């Protein structure tokens, strides 16, 4: 099974940015732990602060991978193009958010991606990525 985790803008700052919301662990550190937990899965990781790069990556894997786990960061709430990219491929996606987007600012409560995803996990910290991998395995 091949799964790709995609993180969007500012998620490269995990471990440094607002640790009271996002925690103190970098995603790279967490990703190594995640790979060690799921040896039966080929996990890949891609992060970009650029919307077009995220869309290109979805197009690249969207007909060959078994799943996409996506945390689009702030683009979740603004990008119709990113939603269209997820809707235009056959690979299923699960949306993940580290914080509870429904308990934050009003503009964060809407996601353009949710209708294009099989489900959404939010508010459970980095554990949400692990839960998404488990969902794909079942």
Q: In whole angstroms, what is the distance from residue 122 CA to residue 95 CA?
A: 8
* Residue 98 annotated as binding site: yes
Annotation says 129 is catalytic: no
Burial (CB < 10 A; 0-12, 13-18, 19+), residue 105, is exposed
* Residue 10 annotated as binding site: no
Burial (CB < 10 A; 0-12, 13-18, 19+), residue 115, is exposed
* Residue 84 annotated as binding site: yes
**Phi, psi for residue 112 in degrees, rounded to 5:** -75, -20
Annotation says 110 is catalytic: no
Q: Which of 30, 45, 65, 97 is catalytic?
A: 97
* Residue 99 annotated as binding site: yes
* Residue 102 annotated as binding site: no
For the annotated binding site for substrate, the residues are 71, 77, 84, 98-99, 108
- Residues annotated as catalytic are 22, 97
């Amino acid at each position: 099974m091949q799964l790709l985790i995609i993180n969007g803008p500012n998620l490269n700052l995990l471990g440094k940015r607002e640790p009271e919301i996002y925690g103190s662990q970098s995603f790279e550190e967490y990703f190594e732990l995640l790979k060690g937990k799921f040896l039966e899965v080929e996990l890949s990781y891609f992060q970009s602060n650029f919307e077009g790069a995220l869309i290109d990556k979805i197009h690249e894997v969207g007909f060959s991978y078994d799943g996409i786990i996506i945390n689009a960061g702030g683009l979740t709430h603004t990008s119709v193009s990113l939603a269209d990219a997820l809707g235009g491929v056959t690979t299923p996606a699960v949306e993940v958010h580290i914080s509870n987007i429904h308990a934050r600012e009003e503009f964060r409560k809407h996601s353009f991606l949710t209708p294009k995803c099989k489900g959404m996990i939010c508010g459970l910290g980095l554990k949400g990525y692990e839960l998404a991998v488990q969902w794909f395995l079942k």
